[in-house]
Structure 1
């Protein structure tokens, strides 16, 4: 766990405040810059891996995950690769850690995630060592991604291979889309509370943050996404097919 000292920051697309003064994100749901104040918290240095989750399954006698694409692309199931799970499974894992440790462990809120990714709210477009992306130095090349994902060309790769952000957090937003605790609401920023926002009380989709392939927009530290808690394609059966790789997570410890 990495200690993240709380504080105040402007959450949302800060592009108009820096550089060329234009938005970074093509989204419309992140344009309402709003003040957020967070308490101190701890955040997982790495995403939860297949090895971590398999230990949890063994200890708690949970059912094993469907292999999904792991049958065809076995690198996705390597011990040091982030595990892909539905939202509730991610939540349950964090709560189990809390029960075992006596700490208040949970999924990060959307605000905690962005604040930490931006190294305590700095104007960092990407959660790399310096806020920029240089393939081969702080992000894998396309050829490396191909090898790591068995030719699937998804940016899901072993944890800790590239430099962390200035807080010491690895791969935030860069290797899969991370679940947060919050329900998604497109206009939430317009009425979000200032102190420790928790997201809407209800919803149909959960907020996720990070790149699962395609445009690097998805890796931006302010880029909002959402998915149903069990993100399956229409017509798919989760119990048989699992979910697509890239729905990953890390935990936080709250005061």
Structure 2
């Protein structure tokens, strides 16, 4: 989906239940980019595993996704796996695919005016897969589409981004306001860094789901609630 160039409101205003690292609400300007309408699915990831002979997620059987889960987001992949998929996809298509920065992800989720959720400023049930026990197909919640028509931006699975949180889980090396200051470096000096992931997951309650929420994990993390989607820069 095309996300036009220009400014948008990122982050949150200080308030009850809002962590300091999510504040302040501030303006960030980005060039135009394209972002996947959906997270990468098992069906999309399988050719990469097969053709590139890449390690399959542990939940797969004989290097194949579980039966009936072809349209579920791929999970059990770490940040390096997601980066490797982007590199493979770029090689296959000749197009500059990569992971989004957290700013790109957030703009695609909430548009320009800082709305709380992809669908507006009021929480609505049945707009995303949350407070549940299972992952759902990526098109299961069409009413949760963002202003740029992206689905699954909240709930279902969280999504890796390029952006570095830092080396210490208790302290962000890169604070807000968001800047192009090395926080999206794919090869930082320290290889044990925590990367930002966005969007919440199927287990989360509504109070923990909003477009501005920032979460992070060490790059080697492989869990059943963390996947990714891709972006493509304008050529």
Q: TM-score range by the shorter chain?
A: 0.7 to 0.9
Moved more, 197-206 or 95-104: 197-206
Matched, 1:157 2:136: yes
Which of 33, 43, 46 is equivalent to 2:25? 33
Q: 1:26 to 1:67 in 2, by over 3 A?
A: same
Which of 181, 189, 194 is equivalent to 1:205? 194
Aligned to 1:206, the other structure's residue is in SS state strand
Which of 34, 44, 48 is equivalent to 1:52? 44
Give CA-to-partner distance per residue, 1:227-255, whole Å, 9 cap, x none: 01122xxxxxxxxxxx3211110000012
**Which residue is 1:252 aligned to?**
231
Which of 135, 140, 163 is equivalent to 1:182? 163
Matched, 1:78 2:65: no
Could you tell me how far apart the structure 2 residues matched to 1:40 and 1:49 are?
A: 25
Moved more, 168-177 or 178-187: 178-187
Q: 1:200 to 1:162 in 2, by over 3 A?
A: closer
| Contact 2:24/2:177 (<8 A) preserved | no
* TM-aligned CA deviation for residue 32 of structure 1: 2.7
Matched, 1:221 2:211: yes
Structure 2, unaligned runs of 5 or more: 61-65, 167-171
| Contact 1:126/1:220 (<8 A) preserved | yes
Give CA-to-partner distance per residue, 1:181-204, whole Å, 9 cap, x none: 1111426234643xx566264361
Could you tell me how far apart the structure 1 residues matched to 2:20 and 2:104 are?
A: 21
Could you tell me how far apart the structure 2 residues matched to 1:41 and 1:198 are?
A: 19
Matched, 1:109 2:101: yes
Give CA-to-partner distance per residue, 1:44-95, whole Å, 9 cap, x none: 0100011111121112122322128xxxxx57x7101000111111111112
Could you tell me how far apart the structure 2 residues matched to 1:159 and 1:190 are?
A: 31
* TM-aligned CA deviation for residue 218 of structure 1: 3.6
TM-score normalised by structure 2 residue count = 0.81
Which of 124, 135, 140 is equivalent to 1:134? 124
- Higher-helix-fraction structure: 1
Q: 1:211 to 1:192 in 2, by over 3 A?
A: closer
Structure 1, unaligned runs of 5 or more: 17-21, 69-73, 146-152, 232-242
TM-score normalised by structure 1 residue count = 0.76
**Which residue is 1:8 aligned to?**
7
| Contact 1:33/1:189 (<8 A) preserved | no
